[in-house]
Structure 1
Amino acid sequence: MKIVLKTIFVTIIALQMLSCDEYLDVTPDNIATLDNVFNRRNTAEQYLFTCYSYIPSHASVNDNPGFLGADEMWSVPSSSNGNFQIAKGNQGVVEPYTNLWKRMYQGIRICNIFLENIETVPDLTSAEKNRWVSEVKFLKAYYHYTLLRMYGPIVLVKENLLVSDDVETVKVPRSPIDECFDYIIELLDESYKDLPDRIENEVSELGRITKAISISLKAQILVSVASPLFNGNSDYGGFRNKDGTPLFNSVYDEAKWQIAADACKAAIEYCESVGHRLYLYEPRFSQYDLSPTTLTKLSIRNSLTEKWNPEIIWANTNSYVIDLQGKATPRGLDPNLGDNGETRGDMAPPLKIVEKFYSANGVPINEDITYDYEGRFDLETPTAEHKYNLKEGYTTAKLNFNREPRYYASLGFDGGIWYGQGRYDDESDDLLFVSSKMGQPASMIVLHAFSTTGYWPKKFVHFQSIVNPGNTYTTENYPFPVIRLNDLYLLYAEALNEARGPSTEVYEYLDRVRTRAGIPNVERAWSDFSKNPGKVRSKDGLREIIHQERTIELAFEGYRFWDLRRWKTAVNELNKPITGWDLDQEEALGYYREKLIYKQTFIPRDYFWPIEEKAILSNSNLVQNPGW
């Protein structure tokens, strides 16, 4: 991708141009060099791509706290991953883990320099200039939003300060949270008009910002504005700047949910008008006549992994899913090929997340009147009727039986079929499957490369990635999707329920996602199969359903980390134990016993990152987040 190559090149130039590491010292000393950048179109365009280069690496387990920072996936005990340390309650103020404070302000600084100088470029058309300005305003909004949801109220940098500004001027305090959100939305509104409807030159421009991306991000943000963490959060009623300015509004405003719902509906209608739709796997040519079960699972799995499919609104072309596929794939998946060093399989969904997925009837397994929840850890042996999901004749836990298609599309587990990876006839007896009890190929043979729970996030792995003999793994790479249409559908259902309560329209948008997932519509599922059939008809009950639907549909993609925070339910969910199977056992009877892995803790201060100590010491007007 040209944008990737240009970004790498220009990032080096930009870093050389910047004279100071402090985020508010934003005017380079080398003015002659800066003038040269904006005296012709080519170098100005390179600077545009530098503005893009600060987008966080969404596919990186080191940069994206959504993977290992909460409870969706657990790592090996020896892992030093910073996000994993956050999940274990080890965050600190001196050098906070996954600290983006400095980097995001550097990105904002670069965006401001671009906006201050773009008018001087002589050989740039008006339409092109307007588009570039819109892209940079979007990026500036995104970087502010990235900071806001990590740190809460932030310092707004609407314009760069000057080198000549006095010491007190540069000591800028944090702005109230509502003011921060208002400014971000203002930037997005300004960006929308001159962005393209779609990318025409796909070879060189895929990944650049479009109207669909801008309007969708606005919808996401307005749902956050209306959510409990930011809307009437009395826990932060005493959080103030040093001059007494309150940083949180502790009065709840229900009208914010209607504003969010309207924004979601506008985003959905626009995205659908330019061709975005839920992905369905419909191969034009196929060597094999696949079963409906496999086709449904591929529709679910490929909606994430099939690059540039119509469901994807924004994908990060600077962050391809390569390493993540290896971390999600069990070692020894194909025992005929021996061990493979590139399939480490050290990303492990805990049992509490595994149990979040519905039964085959589309309701929680602890609510399903037909599901033996108390006996879920008992053993059962699959027969031919289970062959598309479970290895026939291979004894496994009842927990792995009679679950919804998203369970089998998203999770790998002992005795579970792993479709693809070079084997595409789903009627064959030779499909790959996981075997992970002690001594088996996917077990704890290598201490830094195994699943601590006995489950793997298969969802990340493209079904055409191939495990090869020796020490290679050929991955079908794809840019990490940042926004998909399914997210907008669920956000709209959530906002509409909060604004007006249960309605036909709320059910409709939930059912769009559920239909693709191969489960009954939400009203029928609860009326026919739930112990609590009235749950779907109350605002509180439907809220719980929508929250679980998001957890399942967007599992492992990084959403749950932020959802638990904006819902203010992290203090409940992240104080539950992390458990998995007993990996030291060779026999199924011993293996399928729930074993404590870690007792996770989360306290109210953990809703936001601490601002690094150095920044607090250098700016006497900057207050620390409560509890830190």
Structure 2
Amino acid sequence: MTLPALFSCRKYLDIVPDNVATIDYAFRLRSTAERYLFTCYNYMPALGNFDGNPGNASGDEYWLPVVNNSNAWQIARGFQNIVNSYMNYWQGNNGGKDLFEGIRQCNIFLDNVGRVPDMTETERNRWIAEARFLKAYYHFWLFQMYGPIPVIRTNIPVGASPEEVYPPREPVDTCVNYIVEQLDLAAKDLPEKIENEVSELGRVTKAIALTIKAQVLVVAASPLFNGNPDHAGFKGPDGTLLFANSQSQEKWVRAAKACKEAITLCESLGHKLYTFNPQFFQYDISDTTRVQLSIRNAVTEKWNPEVIWGNTNSLAQSIQAAATPRGLDPSKVANSATVGNIAPPLKIAEMFYSNHGVPITEDKTYDYSGRFKLRSGTRAYRYYLQEGYQTVAMHFDREPRFYADLGFDGGIWYGQGLFNDKANLFFVSSKKGQPASAQNQSSYSVTGYWPKKLVNFNNVIGDGTTYTIQSYPWPILRLANLYLLYAEAQNEAEGPSADVYRYLNLIRERAGIPSVEESWTNYSRNPAKFTTKDGLREIIQRERLIEMAFEGQRYWDLRRWKKAAEEMNKPITGWDLAQEDAPAYYREKVIYNQTFTTRDYLWPIPESELLSNKKINQNPGW
């Protein structure tokens, strides 16, 4: 039985016979106890589902047609509230899962797995480690949303006093230390890698535990949680100070050490940055296309060596249809299986580097002021842009990740059913009346861009309305993410170094751009930027936003860096979709004036929770 089947939506408790005590039944046999363990996995956020991943639509990386009712998108539009909270992971409604219930199930498992008779101690210890990991992971998810949270070390016993039933929130550092402690305990008994891949892929390993630990410590060391003056003096009802008043440099040192430990283990197990190998591909492709496939497949090729943790409980299926524009194949314009309605704003398209590996606002050879001028695709750009097609200048001379990650008017869309160097080069056409334009109120891009990065190039556009999607487990963790976390933490801990440059440059090399040192020295208006801690911080953050684009990371990163108020108060813009000709279409149009205030850095605790639990108070500003 494969893990996706084990992780079905049906809860374990549904199968208990009448008149049998639930807990006694669950732990009387190895087989039933294992099913209870898999129930603990069921509370994992459905990150491969666009609407189930708050990192997708809660921020500014995507925008949607106005008829869309995504819960996370209501947060992006400024409609979050305390009465009927969106993406409520505290109680489990409006798009969120009840993670405190998930923690409770993990505690039940930990309390009872010791009495399962027919299993070895080695296996029992592994299961305990898995439950500990999940318990820590759920605490972390709550922490990064709500800040200081109650730490549920054990379940409340039956017959507990009212005083015991409602736990208080605990300080940031206490929350982090508890999460890390549980991850360390789990790592001791988790397997380094999955040996029985047929039945166990997706279950947690030591590599996953150490990488999540690294992520937790980087988040904890970041400005949102490390001496944040906005929350200085914030206390619980009992007077407990919930945020430390001063910034701690040691937190970055601790985070860098954890990142390096995770990297060392992952690389020893064979994890490496993915590169597409043409010798195993039956069709000839250009070097340009090979680089793009290396970038895309790092996300979409299931179980490739870069993936540290793939979420088999959340396959990337519907999100691919939402990321694919309609009408890629002109002979199948009626294809209604491609929804094509998740749209990166224009500022995301501008975020990617020039072909020299620096921001287009910094590249001294790039005509940034003329980026909206019109140009026609030439033979030299044939793998990026449709030859002879008129598009905007900012679509020229960009880094390979720009073309691998984004679909846009006039841009080549590699794959989707035909595979040879000419026949497969479908391109997007999205002006009014063209195949990818607004054919109805919901199935189109409101900005004129699509996140091509998320779409498996082996998907097939068939006859009529068929679109065959090659799904993949959502990559919660991949090695590039870990490299960037280490580069960030090490720079904050000790400043620029050869080690920091090394990990940045490994990612840039795979992306087909020059090293940090070469790019800034030769092309930037600020050639010494990479030599200072502050300058390198800005470079690392930009590199991270580009490399991890569309993977549900930007929203969390902008928050922890305390840059959300800067970025998410910029207007959401796109092209003028109502126009048929290029000069009119390529005019920047404001779609929505997004707002973000200091209070939005922490999500509100649902009002009903505050009415029940008098030991906790609301987050500042709510």
| TM-score interval (norm. to shorter) | over 0.9
The amino acid across from 1:79 in the alignment is N
Q: Which residue of 2 aligns with 1:424?
A: 419
Deviations 1:540-599 (A, max 9, x none): 111111111001000010100100011011011100011000101100010011010111
| Secondary structure, counterpart of 1:8 in structure 2 | coil
Q: Which residue of 1 aligns with 2:166?
A: 171
Distance in 1 between the 2:434 and 2:72 partners? 30
Q: Which residue of 1 aligns with 2:28?
A: 39
Shift of 1:32: 2.2
Aligned pair 1:11/2:16, yes or no? no
Distance in 1 between the 2:350 and 2:161 partners? 57
Aligned length: 616
Distance in 1 between the 2:10 and 2:65 partners? 37
Q: Which residue of 1 aligns with 2:609?
A: 615
Aligned pair 1:433/2:427, yes or no? yes
Counterpart pick for 2:104 among 106, 109, 132? 109
CA RMSD of aligned residues (A): 1.4
Distance 1:334-1:599 versus aligned 2 partners, 3 A rule? same
Aligned pair 1:76/2:71, yes or no? no
| Secondary structure, counterpart of 1:343 in structure 2 | coil
Distance in 2 between the 1:327 and 1:280 partners? 26
Counterpart pick for 2:37 among 15, 40, 48? 48
The amino acid across from 2:13 in the alignment is I
Counterpart pick for 1:482 among 476, 480, 483? 476
Aligned pair 1:625/2:619, yes or no? yes
Worse overlay, 236-245 or 597-606:
236-245
CA contact (8 A) 2:415 2:424 kept: no
Shift of 1:6: 2.4
Q: Which residue of 2 aligns with 1:562?
A: 556
CA contact (8 A) 1:325 1:460 kept: yes
Distance 1:15-1:532 versus aligned 2 partners, 3 A rule? farther
Distance in 2 between the 1:424 and 1:401 partners? 25
| Secondary structure, counterpart of 1:243 in structure 2 | coil
Q: Which residue of 1 aligns with 2:587?
A: 593
Distance in 2 between the 1:270 and 1:371 partners? 41
CA contact (8 A) 1:68 1:83 kept: yes
Distance in 2 between the 1:5 and 1:290 partners? 37
CA contact (8 A) 1:14 1:50 kept: no
Equivalences for residues 256-295 of structure 1 within 5 A: 256-295=251-290
Aligned pair 1:537/2:531, yes or no? yes
Distance in 2 between the 1:347 and 1:84 partners? 11
Q: Which residue of 1 aligns with 2:94?
A: none
CA contact (8 A) 2:571 2:592 kept: yes
Aligned pair 1:237/2:237, yes or no? no
Distance in 1 between the 2:425 and 2:165 partners? 63
Distance in 2 between the 1:559 and 1:285 partners? 31
Distance in 2 between the 1:158 and 1:10 partners? 27
Q: Which residue of 2 aligns with 1:23?
A: none
| Secondary structure, counterpart of 2:410 in structure 1 | coil
Distance in 2 between the 1:489 and 1:459 partners? 20
Distance in 2 between the 1:585 and 1:30 partners? 67
Distance 1:260-1:14 versus aligned 2 partners, 3 A rule? farther
Counterpart pick for 2:223 among 207, 222, 228? 228
Distance 1:10-1:49 versus aligned 2 partners, 3 A rule? farther
Distance 1:323-1:255 versus aligned 2 partners, 3 A rule? same
Distance in 2 between the 1:49 and 1:420 partners? 36
Shift of 1:513: 0.2
Distance in 2 between the 1:497 and 1:228 partners? 14
Shift of 1:4: 2.5
| Secondary structure, counterpart of 1:432 in structure 2 | strand
CA contact (8 A) 2:417 2:424 kept: no
Shift of 1:449: 0.8
CA contact (8 A) 2:323 2:340 kept: yes
Shift of 1:15: 9.6
Aligned pair 1:65/2:54, yes or no? yes
Deviations 1:494-522 (A, max 9, x none): 01111111111111110000000000000
Counterpart pick for 2:494 among 496, 500, 512? 500
| Secondary structure, counterpart of 2:351 in structure 1 | coil
Counterpart pick for 1:384 among 379, 386, 392? 379
Distance in 2 between the 1:192 and 1:391 partners? 50
| Secondary structure, counterpart of 1:169 in structure 2 | helix
| Secondary structure, counterpart of 2:280 in structure 1 | coil
Q: Which residue of 2 aligns with 1:21?
A: none
| Secondary structure, counterpart of 1:317 in structure 2 | strand
Distance in 1 between the 2:20 and 2:533 partners? 58
Deviations 1:53-103 (A, max 9, x none): 111101112221111111111111111111111011110111110111121
Distance in 2 between the 1:177 and 1:361 partners? 41
| Secondary structure, counterpart of 1:355 in structure 2 | helix
| Secondary structure, counterpart of 1:533 in structure 2 | coil
CA contact (8 A) 1:10 1:46 kept: no
Q: Which residue of 2 aligns with 1:572?
A: 566
Deviations 1:360-382 (A, max 9, x none): 00000011111110000000001
Q: Which residue of 2 aligns with 1:339?
A: 334
| Secondary structure, counterpart of 1:258 in structure 2 | helix
Distance in 1 between the 2:423 and 2:276 partners? 23
Deviations 1:216-242 (A, max 9, x none): 000011101110001001211121111
Distance 1:272-1:475 versus aligned 2 partners, 3 A rule? same
| Secondary structure, counterpart of 2:566 in structure 1 | helix
Counterpart pick for 2:85 among 96, 111, 116? 96
Distance in 1 between the 2:40 and 2:348 partners? 37
CA contact (8 A) 2:12 2:36 kept: no
Equivalences for residues 357-376 of structure 1 within 5 A: 357-376=352-371
| Secondary structure, counterpart of 1:371 in structure 2 | coil
Shift of 1:10: 5.7
Distance in 1 between the 2:244 and 2:469 partners? 48
Q: Which residue of 2 aligns with 1:466?
A: 460
CA contact (8 A) 1:10 1:49 kept: no
The amino acid across from 1:248 in the alignment is F
The amino acid across from 2:170 in the alignment is S
The TM-score with structure 1 as length reference comes to 0.96
CA contact (8 A) 2:416 2:424 kept: no
Distance in 2 between the 1:238 and 1:255 partners? 21
Shift of 1:163: 2.0
Equivalences for residues 291-370 of structure 1 within 5 A: 291-370=286-365
Q: Which residue of 2 aligns with 1:413?
A: 408
The amino acid across from 2:319 in the alignment is L
Equivalences for residues 523-534 of structure 1 within 5 A: 523-534=517-528
Distance 1:264-1:362 versus aligned 2 partners, 3 A rule? same
CA contact (8 A) 1:10 1:47 kept: no
Distance in 1 between the 2:116 and 2:486 partners? 42
CA contact (8 A) 1:92 1:610 kept: yes
| Secondary structure, counterpart of 2:189 in structure 1 | coil
**Unaligned ranges ≥5, structure 1:** 18-28
**Unaligned ranges ≥5, structure 2:** 92-97
Q: Which residue of 1 aligns with 2:95?
A: none
Shift of 1:9: 6.6
Shift of 1:423: 2.1
Shift of 1:31: 7.8
Distance in 1 between the 2:270 and 2:66 partners? 45
CA contact (8 A) 1:311 1:486 kept: yes
Shift of 1:532: 0.8
Worse overlay, 282-291 or 225-234:
282-291
Q: Which residue of 2 aligns with 1:209?
A: 204
The amino acid across from 1:70 in the alignment is G
| Secondary structure, counterpart of 1:34 in structure 2 | helix
| Secondary structure, counterpart of 2:414 in structure 1 | coil
| Secondary structure, counterpart of 2:311 in structure 1 | strand
| Secondary structure, counterpart of 1:203 in structure 2 | helix
CA contact (8 A) 1:82 1:98 kept: yes
